[in-house]
A and B are shown apart, each in its own frame.
Chain A
């Protein structure tokens, strides 16, 4: 399988009027085609920034971000637009960010295809197919603003998939949904991968959604920390050799303290030095 997303030592600094905020501090990420990946982490850990980088909405301050083989840092605005209109689908947090409330369900799905300059007939066909797939076929002529939160999110997913993107970026797709609707969205994301081969990268706080993905990456302080696959937890080793320990493990090591590294056959042991003079335990 080919690598769809390749992020290497990405640094992203947001500049505001008064200060600079470092959102990403050398994040590394590899996503292969057809994967379902969840990015989890506390607020401010850089999840959404990373997603914006992948969508071409932001440029990295340093490092390299390649999506579908394209270098995001070097892409022009026009190329970025083209990129989003053809290859990337986005599902944002909150229905109002995904849908025009005054437009019909069908129009919302077709609007996404307008930028891709899809023929009208193709737009109709694709919209009908997607709406059927998300279970909103019967509501195609209703205005998006009149739908419930769950319905809106399903329509939003259909809209995000309207251009047949190879990569779907979803930011908190279940944040406003009840458990049942959230589970439905998780199923649909998987369906998108299974039916249309779309690679899915989800940013979420929702543990259940994270668990429903193939991989769950945890972000902290602007870096990808640990990774969980099939119920097992992994620490991600950065390209510069840094390792982010899982939070519960990291708590056992005092900040600024030192750990003794013991190499064993087949594994490596870390031992915190608790009796070091002048250091807090």
Chain B
């Protein structure tokens, strides 16, 4: 008790030192305590972000249970099975199921360009989730009523009361469906909708019916009627510590569901496990950087504690001597000396944990996002305890020399220099660090793009080794200054340099400063480099600063040009995912980091100015690379009018042959013009083409035979001209330069040889030889327009192919040859697996029409004026969603590796604070000796100004040199390790990681740190100076 009381009295007596020690210890404990909680919180945030980003449906975090219906159509069996499986499964976080009956049927009557499929869904609780805009929701008894989503209704021009008939499942009369209402979803992002989006395509009408629609049927599995239960995850309950049990519980529930059902085994689809594992893995990638930063901070903290306690104990040498003189045992003396730091370290544990909790709660919303739970668990307490224990060991180590020192030496203050021993330790440390870096280099961990987190060790090793070497170097530099400053009258410089060179404590402080500056600069530089690369990656992913997803409209291009006549801010793009196509022969299928390959159909004149491009993406600028794509496309025959006339010469009697022409309107809808029966001689054949007032593309001209015409037929005819009249007609089309080719390029069915197509002076001559009856595979013979040279393509590196020609096939089914004109590493938005084609060329080459060529995106360039999106909307562009590079960058910033960056910066800031403490300590702990020296010099007549100057020279040289070394080490560390560190969760091979360090900012940071340290020095020096007097000589003498 007596010793405890003495310790408390001592703490109060030396309160300045006590406070300093407490602050350093608390900072060290806080750093340690912050690591586990930050890692846990950040991991949690990463997991939750991964879960939030994942689709809500069965391809994401939802569970879709699908049962093919047979017999009576009903959800009841499935509902019961799902209920039995999931009820009581603790932790499954699937609060409710949405039951749905689905069937895809065909319209009873196909209309050109109209609906090709009708997806009918009956969803439980539907009307509660809809906001009906017109008409009403469907009632359960209204088995022929449907509700159509507004976007679908607009796209298909449906109104309340419209009727659509669908073919029944197996024969019978068509079933009329009546549009009862037009509605929008109350919350399209709600779990209820299971990630489904409005279907605005032109091929499928998605409509909601009551369950009674289905109850009227008995079906067979081949009818494809399904009952499904959609279980949307309650994402709010997903946390790192609950994810594992939740997955187990879900797995068990799914097994129960699949094994226990009396009915057929349902299909269960969910990517929950993949999503959670991906999120958990991403979170775990945080650990190494955090551990490294904490290790560095702990090392600094312990070092400072060691210095602080050793200085403090050194100052209490008289007490130690007194204790020995009084006959106190070694243990008693140890307790007397260490009780004070032990008490402070003990107090630092809760204080550090509190600091960590407060700091994290303050920073978490900004760094980890809102709603992140900061939990200070036992690990944080344990880490703080370890930090304090390390501090105590450092204190004990620091005390050991004083405790071992004989009393007489204590009195005489003739401490033995341990410089030789410390030099050996430093050499060993530098050698170990060099060996570590070499090993990392040899193992490939430092190779750019290796993505190995272990590379984070390299900067730490480099900084430690560099600091040790630099601390020796600074002494040599100071010694070099002795000569020039000796005898020149520059007392300040001479004394300052001597202090710097002779004081081991100054060298230690220098080491601390180098490490702190390096840590802070590394944090700032790595944050800047990562942010820049994140922006680059985001722009590459999105393709441009902003991409608007729009409802396809043939007038989009005109609207874009009305808003942006120069073509520098906006460009229309049609993007199609070709990854799902079964065949795109000609291109290799090397796995792409970007997932499915894409076809970007662009206007090459504007695309190059708007799309994001970086020099290393290709061998030239994007406009230069797109130049071959700007070459004039083959002409196409455009019919603009409502009546079309063909002039044809038939030299021989053709028999009974029908003449027809196929056109596609601007939406891609097919139009067939029946021009009558072919006659001998030169005749005009006319047909109405009312859908072509806005322009149609003439695609085929062909002859058809009656089905009973089975004899041989040899005929040739010449198409002399085409003429258009009626509404919209102005310029007359020409058949020249279209690139006509045979309708049947190879013999097929009754056609014994391919049609011969030759361009004659008087027109296009077609010769045909046919034997046998007409067949379904070759219903006619004639010519097809639009095949000319293959469209030039700009291809990303991953789509490698041997030949320069290749076939591209889109999900629409169009397949056409392209000519590779350029290969680039990365394409904006398409990544390393994509093809860019010019719209004109694709229009000319595409056999089926325009549908996939209508722009579904508008890209907005970085330099676009503000408000341009609003102007597009005002011009009539229907924007479905907006995707920005900034949002993408924000998403990337919430991935695992990115979360380590703020921690690194915070670690650097903490290190700077510790450095300030080190500087103050460096001065105050030696204050007594300094006071003696300064007083002696003052007694010798050296002016106060010179004494101040000497301190300034010493500390200024120390700080400035340490700052320079720290900055250099940080820059080297970033250059060494950052390219090898994982920057994103998915880490694609593109765009190449750039290390453009913000040298200006780093110099600013260094200057700010140096200024802060100099202020601390000045404040400490003022206090010190007040104690400097000739009288202090006597005190020091004693």
> Which A residues lie at the B interface, using CB under 8 A?
16-17, 48-49, 52, 55, 57-58, 78, 81-86, 88, 90, 92-94, 96-104, 107, 110-112, 114-116, 143, 145, 159, 163, 176
Contact = CB atoms under 8 A, between A and B. Distances in A.
Interface stretch (B322-330, B546-554, B907-915): B322-330
A97 B318 contact: yes
Nearest to A80: B327
A82 B327 contact: yes
A195 B417 CA distance: 47
A94 B322 CA distance: 12
B325 A86 contact: no
Contacts of A94: 1038
Nearest to A56: B327
Interface stretch (B7-15, B80-88, B346-354, B425-433): B7-15
Contacts of B323: 115
Interface stretch (B110-118, B179-187, B404-412): B404-412
Contact of B325 (A84, A100, A176): A84
Contacts of B414: 16
26 contacts: A16-B414, A52-B407, A57-B325, A58-B408, A81-B329, A82-B327, A84-B326, A85-B326, A88-B327, A90-B326, A93-B1038, A97-B321, A100-B6, A103-B6, A103-B9, A103-B10, A111-B2, A114-B3, A115-B323, A115-B326, A115-B327, A115-B332, A116-B327, A143-B13, A159-B326, A176-B1038
A112 B406 contact: no
A218 B320 CA distance: 31
B408 A57 contact: yes
Given A92-B411, A100-B6, A116-B327, A145 B1038 contact: no
A84 B327 contact: yes
A142 B321 CA distance: 23
Given A102-B13, A107-B2, A145-B13, A57 B407 contact: yes
Contacts of A84: 324-327
Given A98-B322, A101-B13, A114-B332, A85 B327 contact: yes
Contacts of A17: 416-417
B411 A115 contact: no
A107 B332 CA distance: 16
Contact of B327 (A16, A52, A86, A101): A86
A85 B325 CA distance: 8
Which 6 pairs across A and B sit closest by C-beta, in order of nearness? A85-B327, A102-B13, A84-B327, A115-B327, A115-B328, A102-B9
A97 B328 contact: no
B9 A96 contact: no
A114 B332 CA distance: 9
Interface residues of B, number: 29
Contact of A81 (B321, B324, B1038): B324
A83 B327 contact: yes
Contact of A114 (B13, B328, B416): B328
A57 B407 CA distance: 7
A102 B407 CA distance: 21
B683 interface: no
Given A52-B408, A57-B407, A97-B411, A107 B325 contact: no
Nearest to A176: B1038
Contacts of B327: 81-86, 88, 115-116, 163
Nearest to B12: A102
Interface string B9-50: 110111000000000000000000000000000000000000
Contacts, number: 91
A75 to B, nearest CB: 12
Nearest to B1037: A94
Contacts of B329: 78, 81, 115
A86 B329 CA distance: 13
B866 interface: no
A93 B319 CA distance: 13
Contacts of A90: 325-326
Contacts of A83: 327
A276 B4 CA distance: 72
Nearest to A90: B325
A51 to B, nearest CB: 10
B5 interface: yes
Residue among B411, B416, B417 having the largest count of chain A Cβ atoms under 10 Å:
B411
Given A81-B328, A102-B13, A114 B2 contact: yes
B14 A55 contact: no
Contacts of A98: 322
Contacts of B10: 100, 102-103
Nearest to A82: B327
A100 B2 contact: no
Interface in B308-323: 318-319, 321-323
B476 to A, nearest CB: 22
Contacts of B332: 114-115
A110 B408 contact: no
B326 A111 contact: yes
Nearest to A97: B318
A97 B322 CA distance: 6
B318 A96 contact: yes
A90 to B, nearest CB: 5
Given A52-B408, A107-B5, A100 B322 contact: yes
Contacts of B407: 52, 57
A111 B10 CA distance: 14
B319 A100 contact: yes
A275 B1016 CA distance: 73
Contacts of B411: 92-93, 97
Contacts of B326: 84-85, 90, 111-112, 114-115, 159
Contacts of A93: 411, 1038
Contacts of A57: 324-325, 406-408
Nearest to B329: A81
A143 B13 CA distance: 10
B1032 to A, nearest CB: 14
Contacts of A104: 9
A92 B321 CA distance: 10
Interface in B325-342: 325-329, 332
B118 to A, nearest CB: 91
B14 to A, nearest CB: 7
A237 B417 CA distance: 42
A85 B330 CA distance: 13
A253 to B, nearest CB: 34
Given A97-B322, A102-B12, A107 B6 contact: yes
A100 B8 CA distance: 13
A145 B318 CA distance: 14
A100 B317 CA distance: 11
A96 B319 CA distance: 8
B317 to A, nearest CB: 10
Contacts of A55: 325
Contacts of B408: 48-49, 52, 57-58
A102 B2 contact: no
Nearest to B10: A102
B328 A85 contact: yes
Contacts of A112: 326
A48 B412 CA distance: 11
A55 to B, nearest CB: 7
Interface centre among B2, B321, B323, B327 (most CB of A within 10 A): B327
Contacts of A96: 318, 1038
A190 to B, nearest CB: 23
A110 B9 CA distance: 15
Contacts of B325: 55, 57, 84, 90, 92
A55 B326 CA distance: 10
A12 B581 CA distance: 99
Contacts of B3: 114
A111 B6 contact: yes
A85 B3 CA distance: 17
B135 to A, nearest CB: 89
A78 B3 CA distance: 21
Nearest to B406: A57
A79 to B, nearest CB: 10
